Copies of this chain bind each other. A is one copy, B any other.
């Protein structure tokens, strides 16, 4: 692949959700560490104060002598203003409040439906999608009018439906969706290479994989370490660690982290289906029938957690405080590579060297058997002003059935949200694999969840 190294200046990156206290800080760090790029970052957030704090933090970082990538951060008063002149648009928003997310995640528990995340699939993912799609409709229209040639990187969940909406509303958009879940599985595979093949220095970058599926329900049908097929090694590894789980890859015990797991779901899926599921166990569990999420005891037996939204609320409070400290200089901003590939992708799109990585894009045949337009996750080649998926092949029928079900639900949800018709999404609500309630119970639950987030459905048919 090409390895150009020329520098690019005067770039404009627009960050929608620019008050973010996670992804935004990652991006600041990665930009600060990248010598080849410079320009300005325009921050837009419905919470203006958060954007202003990040403006301050970003400019402080830029002013530091150890910062090689110099950027000017500025807060924009409106979406349209923010998009003016954009070369790149990053979308990383929280669609709705954490209080609303509490309804998404916990309301179904009344009917025995447990969700570990609740932002992609499950009843919670559906409700979140319904309120997110109109937001992405607005964003897509604004991009179409203001900066149609900009590259758009989405980090928001539900990933597939966010990207799907962008293309539905503005078919000419140059958008893709990024998610680091596959990277986590590559890390696990590097552990496998070390443990099974004795490759002590293996890192995730050494692990070549073929990726196919939908975001958070992604699969690998090939994985190799320097040309050596990792499937036999992974089989041995999964067998050995199945009962107790394996906690090495995520840097901590699942008992101490709402986000970690012991990979037992992943091992179980491998033993059942023969392919490597490539997302965190908390995400994977939500795409299947309630094998792993039947009740809290079952979840515990699989060694992962039901992340409570109360924790997210508390964590958000802490991050707000940290933001204040960073903005005031009371706490130093630590520069460190985030492990994300956003900046590498931007460089490749600017013609500064091609890269191959996994990404979410509308299906044009990169996955056989899934419908055109569905947003799928596969590897793609990033090069100058171009992202081209590789042909990833097809899923075995035993997995395809599960994936196709979610894809069909996505299409149902999208059509409902675009027409503001909540009734039209109910068949997808009922057809979610976690939905064990009867149709009558599901009706009640759905009404309750709509009501709990009713400000998003003011003009909807409910």
Contacts and interface: CB of A to CB of B under 8 A. Distances in A.
Interface of A: 1-2, 4, 6, 8, 205-206, 208, 210, 222, 224-229, 272-273, 289, 291, 294, 349-352, 354-356, 364-366, 368-369, 371, 379-381, 383-386, 388-392, 396-398, 400-402, 404-405, 407-409, 411-412, 415, 426-428, 430-431, 435-436, 438-439
Nearest to A356: B1
Given A1-B356, A388-B391, A369 B371 contact: yes
B431 A398 contact: yes
Number of copies: 4
A405 B288 CA distance: 13
A401 B404 contact: yes
A2 B398 CA distance: 31
A208 B365 contact: no
Given A2-B206, A400-B408, A405-B401, A226 B351 contact: yes
23 contacts: A2-B206, A4-B206, A208-B351, A208-B384, A210-B388, A222-B386, A224-B383, A224-B386, A226-B384, A227-B352, A227-B384, A228-B384, A354-B356, A364-B368, A380-B390, A390-B390, A397-B408, A397-B411, A397-B412, A398-B428, A400-B408, A401-B405, A401-B412
Given A2-B205, A208-B383, A352 B226 contact: yes
Contacts of A379: 381, 388
A405 B208 CA distance: 31
A1 B8 CA distance: 21
Contact of A6 (B210, B226, B392): B226
Nearest to A229: B385
Per CB-CB distance, the 8 closest pairs between chain A and chain B, nearest first, are A227-B351, A401-B408, A365-B365, A397-B411, A398-B427, A224-B384, A227-B384, A388-B390
Given A208-B383, A228-B351, A400-B408, 12 more contacts: A2-B208, A4-B206, A210-B388, A222-B385, A224-B384, A224-B385, A227-B349, A227-B351, A272-B426, A354-B356, A389-B390, A401-B409
Contacts of A380: 390
A397 B381 contact: no
A402 B401 CA distance: 10
A195 to B, nearest CB: 19
A424 to B, nearest CB: 8
Contacts of A438: 291, 294
Contacts of A364: 365, 368, 391
Contacts of A404: 401, 404-405, 408
Contacts of A400: 408, 411
Contacts of A8: 227
